[in-house]
């Protein structure tokens, strides 16, 4: 429609939708980093934390955040609804190595949360199971985790010992059952170690003379010395996975004992060692894509069976499969030609030094 003669066009300001501005934080100390993550968790928009260039952020028991939803974690959980990017600028986040009696991983990403790490080193994280499966020595992820230019090194997932069943360990460096994207990174010198089985033993009631006997328990399993993928999806490209180890725990020893006031003799065999799968990468489930990945010098070692007594057999040794990569039937894994030819010099105690399950 044309304007009528004499009418005048009057420009007006168009009202735009309100736009949320990403919150930006800087951190040069561990308390500042913890405070920035806590603040980011409270904001609905995407957030960014820039770390002081080249700084080492050493987490100790004193600095330990109150985060034990999946075992102790040094930093606050990345909460559901949060979308956080940490620009490392060459910094390192580490667990103080001398805290060997106190274990904690570094990051835990909740379901429906997102964490992006760039240009950063994660070191010495140590997840411990305390009677349950240990998951992710550096990072446990149930949401979305993006790594770009990140080194994950010397981290450990360790299963605990138990009189009922030893704990398994999954993901010495990273455990993920969410969405994982890794590019231009290094996953090196990490380990997933199943807990040791408990030796057979007896308990005597000195008042009644009754005796209770308990058999040896098997060792726990170790899955994914570098990375353990339990489900969800993962894309790993242009990345090196090297020098990692997955190990099954040793089985408990058997025993022979006579009832406290004499009588029959109790004889128990040794228990089986735990299994180990995927020294570098264990794909237990989900959809996985590997391209341009070097998987070298990783290893898996099944746990030794416990000793037998008086003719009772030694426990079976655990199997070690896929020194470089283990692929379970439940996982859908695509591997490019580069990765196939660069899965080399790995070792498995039972079978498939480089790739198991293709």
The number of residues making up the chain comes to 358
Please, what is the average pLDDT of the chain?
Answer: 88
- Give the angle 327-246-114 at the CA atoms, nearest 5°: 70
- Which 3 state secondary structure label does DSSP give 34? helix
pLDDT on residue 21: 55
86 by Cβ neighbours in 10 Å (0-12 / 13-18 / 19+) ranks as buried
Q: How far apart are CA 194 and CA 168, in angstroms?
A: 5
Q: Which bin fits 328, alpha (ψ -120 to 50), beta or left (φ > 0)? A: beta
Threshold 0.85, pTM exceeds: yes
Residue 262 has a pLDDT of 56
Longest dimension (CA), the chain: 120
pLDDT at residue 45, rounded to an integer: 87
Instruction: Parse the chain into domains and list their residue ranges.
Output: 23-356
3-state SS, one letter per residue, for 246-290: EECCCCCCCEEEECCCCCCEEEECCCCCCCEECCCEEECCEEEEE
Distance CA 48, CA 290 (A): 28
**Which pLDDT value is given to residue 12?**
43
Tens-level pLDDT at each residue, the chain (358 residues): 444 444 443 444 344 344 455 689 999 999 999 999 999 999 888 999 999 999 999 998 776 656 777 888 999 999 999 999 999 999 999 998 765 567 899 999 999 999 999 999 999 999 998 667 899 999 999 999 999 999 999 999 999 876 677 899 999 999 999 999 999 999 999 999 999 999 888 777 777 767 677 788 999 999 999 999 999 999 999 999 999 999 999 999 988 766 555 556 677 889 999 999 999 999 999 999 999 999 999 999 999 999 987 667 789 999 999 999 999 999 999 999 999 999 999 999 999 999 999 8
Q: What is the pLDDT of residue 64?
A: 64
Task: Return the closest-CA partner of residue 191 out of 240, 139, 151, 137.
Answer: 137
Would you say 265 and 210 are in contact if contact means Cβ atoms under 8 Å apart? no
Give the pLDDT confidence score for residue 102 in this predicted structure: 78
Task: Say what the pLDDT of residue 10 is.
Answer: 45
Residue 35 belongs to what H/E stretch? helix 30-41
Q: Encode pLDDT of 216-264 as tens digits.
A: 899 999 999 999 999 999 999 999 999 999 999 999 998 876 655 555 6
Q: Name 247's bridge partners.
A: 193, 301
The secondary structure of residue 340, as a DSSP letter, is H
Tokens 């794909």: give the residue: 283
Tell me the CA distances in angstroms from 332 to 29, 144, 294, 308, one per residue in order: 42, 19, 19, 40
Distances in whole angstroms, Cα of residue 325 to Cα of each of 110, 137, 245, 251: 26, 18, 11, 25
Of 108, 155, 110, 158, whose CA–CA distance to 133 is shortest?
Answer: 158
Among 93, 99, 53, 98, residue whose Cα is nearest residue 76:
93
**Where does residue 334 rank: exposed (0-12), middle (13-18), buried (19+ CB within 10 A)?**
exposed
* pLDDT single digits (tens) 141-185: 999 999 999 999 999 999 987 667 789 999 999 999 999 999 999
């Amino acid at each position: 429609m044309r304007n009528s003669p004499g009418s005048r066009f009057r420009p007006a300001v168009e009202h735009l939708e309100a736009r949320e501005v990403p919150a930006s934080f800087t951190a040069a100390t561990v308390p500042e980093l913890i405070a920035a993550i806590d603040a980011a968790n409270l904001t609905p928009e995407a957030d960014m934390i820039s770390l002081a260039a080249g700084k080492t952020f050493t987490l100790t028991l004193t600095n330990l955040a109150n985060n034990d939803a999946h075992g102790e974690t040094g930093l606050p959980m990345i909460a559901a609804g949060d979308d956080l990017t940490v620009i490392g600028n060459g910094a390192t986040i580490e667990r103080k190595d001398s805290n060997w009696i106190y274990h904690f991983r570094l990051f835990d990403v909740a379901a429906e949360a997102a964490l992006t790490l760039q240009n950063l080193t994660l070191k010495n994280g140590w997840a411990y199971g305390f009677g349950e499966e240990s998951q992710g020595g550096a990072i446990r992820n149930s949401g979305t985790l993006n790594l770009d230019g990140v080194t994950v090194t010397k981290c450990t997932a360790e299963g605990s010992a138990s009189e009922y069943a030893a704990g398994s360990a999954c993901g010495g460096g990273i455990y993920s059952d969410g969405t994982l994207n890794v590019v231009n990174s290094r996953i090196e010198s990490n380990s997933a170690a199943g807990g040791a089985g408990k030796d057979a033993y007896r308990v005597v009631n000195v008042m009644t003379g009754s005796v209770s006997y308990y058999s040896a328990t098997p060792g726990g399993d170790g899955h994914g010395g570098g990375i353990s993928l339990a489900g969800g999806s993962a894309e790993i490209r242009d990345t090196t996975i090297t020098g990692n180890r997955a190990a099954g725990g040793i089985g408990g020893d058997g025993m022979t004992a006579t009832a406290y006031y004499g009588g029959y003799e109790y004889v128990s065999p040794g228990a089986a060692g735990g299994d180990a799968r995927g020294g570098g990468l264990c794909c237990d489930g989900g959809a996985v894509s590997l391209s341009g990945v070097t998987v070298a010098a990783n290893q898996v070692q099944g746990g030794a069976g416990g000793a037998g007594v008086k003719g009772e057999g030694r426990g079976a040794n655990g199997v070690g499969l896929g020194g470089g990569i283990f692929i379970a039937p439940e996982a859908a894994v695509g591997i490019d030609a580069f990765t196939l030819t660069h899965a080399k010099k790995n070792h498995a105690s039972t079978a498939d030094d480089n790739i198991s399950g293709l």
